[in-house]
């Protein structure tokens, strides 16, 4: 990968997840929202004009058990014509230890100006080592999450 952020790479030492509610209070106050009350999102967003951006997201239930996870990098490749790449993996972490999700590679030629980029997205087969790396990333996010918030 040509970006400064690598999909499924360990987090930088100083990265601390932000802890957010899963939904706004008006949704959580509904009967349907009550089932996810107490769930939280742990988010790390890394961004640099020269490296692109990376967002890691883990959803945990009210007891702190991870429910789902995703990692995505977005960056531009210089060249003729310039290309934009978005690589991601995300899905549900099942109680039996399996992972149900998809890995994507999306590429677009950036026409510049007001014309929108035309994206082509391709799902990729997830290899066992990639799923293991996502699980390690989830563990890292849980270890680094702010306590008591």
Q: What is the Cα–Cα distance from 32 to 29, expressed in whole angstroms? A: 8
**Cα gap 102→11, rounded to integer Å:** 21
Give the domain range for residue 100.
18-144
Would residue 2 count as lying in a domain?
Answer: no
132 belongs to a structural domain: yes
Q: Is 115 helix (H, G, I), strand (E, B) or coil?
A: coil
* pTM of the shown model: 0.85
CA distance 18 to 136: 18
Q: Rounded mean pLDDT of 10-16?
A: 93
pLDDT in tens, 20-73: 999 999 999 999 999 999 999 999 999 987 778 999 999 999 999 999 999 999
Residues 45 and 61: their CA atoms lie apart, in Å, by 21
Give the whole-angstrom CA distance, residue 73 versus residue 57: 12
Q: How many domains does the chain divide into?
A: 1
* 11 within a domain of the structure (yes/no): no
- As to burial, measured by CB atoms within 10 angstroms (0-12 exposed, 13-18 middle, 19+ buried), residue 128 is exposed
Domain membership of residue 36 (yes or no) is: yes
Given a cut of 80, is residue 98 above it in pLDDT?
yes
Buried residues in 7-34 as b, exposed as e (16+ CB within 10 A): bbeebeeeeebeeeebbeeeebeeeebe
Q: By CB neighbour count within 10 A (0-12 exposed, 13-18 middle, 19+ buried), where does 59 fall?
A: buried
- Is 8 inside any structural domain? no
pLDDT tens per residue, range 102-117: 999 888 876 677 777 7
């Amino acid at each position: 990968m040509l970006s400064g952020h690598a999909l499924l790479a360990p987090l930088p030492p100083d990265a601390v997840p932000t802890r957010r509610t899963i939904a706004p209070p008006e949704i959580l106050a509904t009967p349907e929202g009550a089932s996810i009350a107490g769930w939280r999102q742990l988010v790390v967003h890394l961004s640099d004009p020269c490296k692109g951006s990376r967002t890691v997201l883990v959803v945990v239930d009210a007891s702190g058990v991870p429910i789902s996870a995703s990692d995505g990098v977005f960056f531009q490749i210089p060249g003729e014509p310039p290309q934009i790449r978005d690589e991601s993996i995300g899905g549900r972490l099942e109680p039996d230890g399996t992972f149900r999700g998809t890995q994507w590679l999306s590429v677009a030629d950036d026409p510049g100006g007001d014309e929108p980029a035309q994206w082509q997205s391709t799902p990729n087969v997830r290899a066992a080592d990639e799923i293991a790396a996502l699980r390690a990333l989830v563990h890292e996010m849980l270890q680094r999450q702010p306590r008591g918030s």
